[in-house]
Amino acid sequence: MSYIMVDVEADGPIPGDYSMVCFGAIVVAPSLDRTFYGQLKPISDEWIPEALEVSGFTREQTLQFDDPKAVMQQFAGWIAEVGGRCPMFISDNNGFDWQYVNWYFHHFLGNNPFGHSSTNLGSLYKGVVRDMFTSFKHLRKTKHTHNPVGDARGNAEALLQIKEEYGLKISFK
């Protein structure tokens, strides 16, 4: 099983009504050298300026981004190359990130290469340290800047550190 850390930037709180602006993914492995980045043209006329501002892009810039179906096809192909037999989606906030990736895969391609499951890094860490009031974010090496590949990298670094520091039984390929 390959763990693929994903981070999403969007222009609103839910897919369909709003759009996934860009996303990044990285295979969780010591090398952290297999990444994917996609920028997607909006699918809706609705957008929240404050939400879009987080991504660092303007609405005008996003209107020049790539066709969402093509990006999701490329992402599915990348997952097939790097994900092995059973790729596992993991993210810092899978309540947000998963909803967008899952919706876009089903909407544009009819299926999700990750299947029906995802893992939340924050919840995993809370369980490992047995403390529901703690955060893993101090384990990131790469600064969190809302660049989705960089943010996915920082989260992958944290997962690798959780394995090393706390003896998490997990296999990275």
Distances (CA, A) of 16 to 27, 45, 103, 113, 123: 27, 10, 8, 20, 27
Whether 173 is covered by a domain: the verdict is no
CB 30 within 8 A of CB 144: no
Annotation marks residue 146 as catalytic? yes
The side-by-side arrangement of strands in the sheet containing 3-10 is: 35-39, 20-27, 3-10, 88-91, 118-120
Which member of 107, 116, 138, 146 is catalytic?
146
- As for how many domains the chain has, the answer is 1
- The answer to whether the predicted template modeling score (pTM) of the entire model surpasses 0.75 is yes
From first to last of its 173 residues, the chain has per-residue pLDDT tens of: 899 999 999 999 999 999 999 999 999 999 999 999 999 999 999 999 999 999 999 999 999 999 999 999 999 999 999 988 899 999 999 999 999 999 999 999 999 999 999 999 999 999 999 999 999 999 999 999 999 999 999 999 999 999 999 999 998 86
**Is position 78 within any domain?**
yes
The CATH number of the domain holding residue 12 is 3.30.420.10
